[in-house]
Amino acid sequence: MKFTYCLLSALLLFPTANLSAQDDGARGVYFYKNTYTPSELPRFEGSKAELPSPIWDENPEWVELYWKAWEIAFSNLQAPPPGSPLVANWIDEGLSPQIFQWDTHFMAMFGRYAHHVFPFIESHDNFYARQHEDGMICRVINEADGVDHHWGLGDNYARTINPPLFSWAEMEYFRFSGDTARLEQILLPIEKYVAWVEQHRRAEGTEHGLYWSNGQASGMDNTPRDMGRPSPNGDIHSSTSPMGWVDMSSQIKMCYDNLAEICRILGDKKKAKTYSKRAKALTKRINRYMWSDSTGLYHDVTPDGKQTPWITTATFWPILADIASPKQVSRMTEAIEDTTLFWRRLPLPSLAANQPYYDPRGRYWRGGVWAPTTYMTVKGLERRGHEALAESIARKNMEVVYEQYQSTGTIWELYSPDMNVPATNETGIHLVKPNFVGWTGLIPISMFIENIIGIRADGSTNRIVWRTNTTSRHGIENLRFGDVTTTLIREGNTITIESTAPYVLIVNGEKYSIDKGVSQVELTDK
């Protein structure tokens, strides 16, 4: 099967003629699944015992928040209604009767911890099944009929897509599950999607040749990054001017890296090499045009190659995308820890605190703190060796989310950077949704497990890496990754392990071979 997919997808390395984004044309022709097979939606009450159970005696209230996040997430599981062309059950963001691409990517990140209970990654299947023949996948689709849904100016070309993160979400799932068969199924749709982006989002006619977006298409709806750009009908968040956007350009680089890795896993070394070359070439262009030695950050660039002054969380995508050098990453950590920029009561505000239009109440993307961009930054810092800073950000976010859970009884879409409230506007009215799990589940689930407890499981390599730095009782029970179910509990300097199969455990750099059954590891760290 893998060779069939690789041969078909080889045709897509270079863009071809296609239909317009507005043409209904054929749908889902590149994806194997075209019908829905009914399956029962699991309930939280009946599934709780099968989920990973964190242990954190240092602050047991955070465990309570963890379970609340799962409770809300399970309440948002949906099935296609009768007559719908959707092909899979999905987790809904809890916002409206539409499915959002941007949200779905991040919900899959924490959903992988329950992949054996509900296949959260298959929420993407509805997007693949509604993919246009030209490769475009609309950023929002209606739940009832699978029709593309356009906000604002109707069927607006500028707002068609969301950040191109399908490949990141799929690879994160693969690294957890080791499910190679899924990679075979999703390679062709993602290649077609990236080919569409190359045709329609690359800033043609500019020296930089990077990738453009706008507020709504990027997911950063009311960001001031759009200000001053020519826009249809005066709608600043529908601009199509060929700027280079840091996040969009970095995300495409990630796409090429991920496609290269997928092709290597599936045995197509030649195509993997082609994608790697594209990623390297794009890295050079991003660093040439977007990096500023004076600010120590990355900036959007105008069509004529001039850097814009805006400083937003978009600047941190090059860390995750392995675009920034170690020296550049170190410079960027200075901005993260700068209280006049990003180190507020709650890091990381979507707009730096020294910028025009920054609102300490949040005001959506004019200062609001959002789980997806925070998670992206934390994962980048973690990947590039800044573990302590990643943990600090995770802890501060966990503290605030729990504070608000205590006072309001729920989890919110985003939070104020400077006040102990969900994000608001100048009238004090909440602009955000309660019971939002939704991507905010990244904080009490993913960041809690990965950056506070410090456990990262990899089913593709059959190993767990554990960064543990407290002797208080902590760990996790019933963690399922790859073909392994394991429990790890540290108390003092002793780790007690129970496992259904062998795997490799790396604790603070020391490697241990774990056998099936019960075993112990004695640590020598202080």
Q: Is the model's pLDDT at 144 over the cut of 50?
A: yes
| pTM, full prediction | 0.94
The Cα 422–Cα 430 span in angstroms is 7
Query: What confidence tier does 232 reach under pLDDT thresholds 50, 70, 90?
Result: confident
Under a CB-based contact definition with an 8 Å cutoff, are residues 289 and 224 in contact?
A: no
What's the token pair of residue 203?
């800033």
Give per-residue pLDDT as tens, 263-299: 999 999 999 999 999 999 999 999 999 999 999 999 9
Write the burial class of residue 153 (CB in 10 Å: 0-12 exposed, 13-18 middle, 19+ buried): middle
Give per-residue pLDDT as tens, 20-58: 334 456 899 999 999 999 999 999 999 999 999 999 999
Q: Is the model's pLDDT at 429 over the cut of 70?
A: no
Q: What is the residue whose two structure tokens read 């062309």?
A: 85
Looking at the chain, the whole-number percentage of residues with pLDDT higher than 70 is 92
The ranges assigned to domains in the chain are: 1-39+79-200, 207-324, 463-522
* Confidence at residue 158, expressed as pLDDT on a 0 to 100 scale: 86
The Cα 477–Cα 458 span in angstroms is 16
Decide: helix, strand or coil at residue 184.
helix
What's the token pair of residue 89?
């059950």
